[in-house]
Amino acid sequence: MGYDRPMKAERLLTILTLLLARKKVSASVLSKKLEVSIRTIYRDIDALAAAGIPVFATNGRDGGFELVEGFRMDGQVLETGEIQHIIEGLNGLAGVFSGPALDSVTEKFRLLLARSGRHGIPCPENRIFIELTPSHREKRIIDLINESIKNESILSIHYNGLNSEGTDREIEPLALVFVWQSWFTWAWCRLRGDFRIFRVSRITNAVEVKKPRMAPPVDLSERPWTREWESERCERISFTAEKAALGRLLEYFDEENIRERDDGSLLVSADFPLEDWFVSWIMGLPGRTTVLEPERLRSIIRERAQSFLAEK
């Protein structure tokens, strides 16, 4: 994936962050870190000085740029617990969107963490870890989706839906979403002529296509993909399961929807979309499971079980 050198505003922020965190930084170090010429670094330093930041230069072998002694900026020191949470979130994203740009942002917060520690703010041991790293195949598809979003191009994909053998279609990816322990892309589907949410794990092939996009404008800040999930038709589902299934039940149902009966079994009642994946899920619960309603779910499970036992 391509990487653009930091724009001036980002360079100024990086230089200021480094100056706040260190005693002195040389022009050559800044030049190498920001991948610009030393002349550009001097111009950036002049811009900081013009903005009122008291930065000065010292010459000689150990020369460099530094801030006037005692200078500090309000809001630069955050509580270390807050910074650690931000850093861990960035580390989680690094497993999916690695690259110099993300590394640069993470380094800035690490410098703020070190600086806040020097100001006497307690630095508790981090106990929150975020792992978003997908499989190698999913990572490859995510990279293609991310590149398509960046280039405003089209992806030709083979998509395996829940109730079909798979379709070839062209999509215009607009966003990547992580929810329900899975990665999705919100995209304009040229086959359906509408916006759709696609689970990345069901995309088995993707190729970037250089064609003009057709999708109408959409405000991503409103998270339009949630409307698709909320519009799914739900039915009242009730079933009993053994206690051994409690861990798996809690993955999808709230505690208020699960009640222990006198015989020790669990009664689950909730409004839930009756999708094909749910049929497979409920049939895979450990121990004995009995569907009480709806009758349609009972019929589906009965037919599927009979097909398993059918003679060839």
Q: Any idea what the CATH number is for the domain that residue 299 is in?
A: 3.30.70
Residues 215 and 250 in one domain: no
Residues 242 and 268 in one domain: yes
Widest distance between CA atoms in the chain: 88
pLDDT in tens, 71-85: 654 444 455 666 777
- pLDDT for the residue numbered 63: 82
Residues 173 and 220 in one domain: yes
Q: Which structure tokens are listed for 249?
A: 């039940």
Residues 183 and 155 in one domain: yes
CA angle, 192 then 214 then 156, to 5°: 60
- pLDDT for the residue numbered 80: 63
- pLDDT for the residue numbered 81: 65
Give the E-state strand segments of 242-295 in sequence order.
Answer: 258-260, 266-273, 290-293
Range of the domain at 210: 136-230
End residue of a domain, out of 33, 48, 67: 67
Residues 178 and 252 in one domain: no
Query: Can you tell me whether residue 109 is helix, strand or coil?
Result: helix
> Total domain count for the chain?
3
Task: Look up the CATH number of the domain holding residue 14.
Answer: 1.10.10.10
Which amino acid is residue 157, in one-letter code? I
Residue 164 falls within a domain, yes or no? yes
Residue 91 falls within a domain, yes or no? no
Low-confidence ranges of the chain (pLDDT < 70): 1-10, 22-23, 51, 69-82, 101, 112, 115-123, 162-164, 229-232, 310-312
187, with CB counted inside 10 A (0-12, 13-18, 19+), is buried
